Amino acid sequence: MTRRSMPCSAQEIGQLFLFEQLTPERLGRLCAEGRVELFEPGLVYTEGQPATSFYVMLEGTVVLSRRVGEDDIEVNRTSEPGVYAGAIQAYLGTRTPQVYSNTLRTTEPTRFFILSADTFAGIMQEWFPMAVHLLEGLFFGVKNVQQAIGQRERLLALGSLSAGLTHELNNPAAAAARATATLRERVAKMYRELVVIAEGSFSRDALAALMEFQERMAERVAKASPLSPLQAADQEDILTEWLESHGIEQSWRMAPTFVQAGLDSESLDRFATMVDDKTLSAAIGWLNSTVETELLIAEIMESTKRISHLVNAAKQYAQLDRAPFRMVDVHELLDSTFVMLAGKIGPQITVVKQYDETLPMIPAYPAELNQVWTNLIDNAIAAMDSVGGAGILTVRTARANDQLLVEIQDTGDGIDAEIRDRIFDPFFTTKPVGAGTGLGLDISWRIITNKHHGSLRVESMPGDTRFQVLLPLAAFRPDLTKEPA
């Protein structure tokens, strides 16, 4: 950029609101240690570069912008003399990264009064020691509190997720334990009844036929389709009548088991032809134990499959043994979050997933995106809890030009217009004291904007609140220096 030095006037800089209370001696020192330069239209400095200078505009027009993905988003444009930018935190020294937090441009010839970062820091500490101490305390105090409460936010979320996951794991684990205990009894009973059958006058071929029938029944159990309640009741009546007509005790208990396995009266007729009347009762009992054993094995397999699914979802959610930054399937991340939050989603909340399955994988920090989904879904659940705990939670994905859209919609009572602009502010919360830290949305916003170069916005009215996350589809360079909290 073209720029040239110009004379510094203590009278001129003394008229700026930043310096208007300074003595003539201090104004003279500023002119002696600083400089005035005229910048032609163009770039002054770039976001992320080392902050080496403190700029105060004397006249002209400046534009401040922040980088979001591949774009520079304008955040301020002004021609007001005295506005300042650049190394504004130089007085904090090396305790915080001294880089430009934005990009500064001029749109017309613009004069700046400029101090080097070191000179600005020295003058601040010499002239305003109390103010510097107060500013340091405010800056680091807020930062430390924000980090501490952010950590508490994560721990609270982890505790809630752990409780929900424990509850979800307990159900299939308890079912598998019950089925295993019952299975031991059924196997022992099946052995006893098999002994009774073996003591009968059966040829080797007849026993082989019985065993073959048992194997076919096992396969049939595995493939049996569930009947409607009315169909099952009718079939149970038919089998109960068949069992009673053949003198089988406890027919009322055996009939539902046979129906569940897909057996009918014709199957029992074929089985009855393989044994004599003397051993029919024991043979039917043995067949019942066989079917019960297969059903219990199927129940154990289903329970362990459910446990495995939950463990895999937890690993997917936590991104264990995964690279922190990689290509991810957003739908897998959303699904794993729903599994983790299943215990918090009440039976009156209907979850609707409207996924665009044609969306590609995107570059992202998956563990941190899961934190965003957790915060947004948890807030949606809380919003619907406030109106009776019932509603519809809709998660929608779609392509929005060169970005991927994730929209989380709830039918809660909405966000009042007067506070809508504040919901992403640190520590702002509408929840009762102790129920929220006010950092969930702030952390989410910084994860999306700072870490992923995306955007997070909200649209809300009573019965229809939508948080919309936009993430770049194209690869971007991960910034490992930026922390979400």
Domain boundaries, the chain: 3-127, 164-310, 326-472
List pLDDT tens digits, range 272-302. Answer: 888 777 777 877 888 888 888 888 887 787 7
pTM: 0.47
What pLDDT is recorded for position 330? 93
Kindly report the average pLDDT of the chain as a whole number.
Answer: 79
Query: Which pLDDT does position 288 carry in this prediction?
Result: 82
The pLDDT, as a whole number, for residue 409 is 94
Assess whether pLDDT exceeds 60 at residue 440. Answer: yes
| Euclidean distance between CA atoms 219 and 263, whole angstroms | 12
Name, in order, each residue with C-beta under 8 angstroms of 11's C-beta and a sequence gap of 6 or more.
Answer: 27
> Token digits for 49?
């570069």
If one compares 122 and 421, the residue with the highest pLDDT of the two is 122
pLDDT band for position 323 (cuts 50, 70, 90)? low
Question: What is the distance between the alpha carbons of residues 39 and 60, in angstroms, rounded to a whole number?
Answer: 9
Which overall architecture, per CATH, does domain 326-472 show?
2-Layer Sandwich (3.30)
* CA separation for the pair 449, 471 (Å, rounded): 9
Task: Indicate if the alpha-carbon torsion angle 261, 262, 263, 264 is positive or negative.
Answer: positive
**What confidence tier does 485 reach under pLDDT thresholds 50, 70, 90?**
very low
Token pair of 457, please? 């916005």
- The confidence band for 318, taking pLDDT boundaries of 50, 70 and 90, is low
Average pLDDT over residues 398-422: 86
pLDDT at 133: 58
251-265, 361-375, 426-440, 471-485: least confident range: 426-440
> Stretch 87-99: mean pLDDT, rounded?
78
Query: What token pair was written down for 471?
Result: 């993430």
CB of 332 within 8 A of CB of 316?
yes
Check whether domain 3-127 has CATH 2.60.120.10, yes or no: yes
Mean pLDDT lowest among 140-144, 325-329, 378-382: 140-144
Residue pair 394/352 in contact (Cβ under 8 Å)? The answer is yes
What is the pLDDT at residue 437?
45
Segment 89-113 mean pLDDT: 85
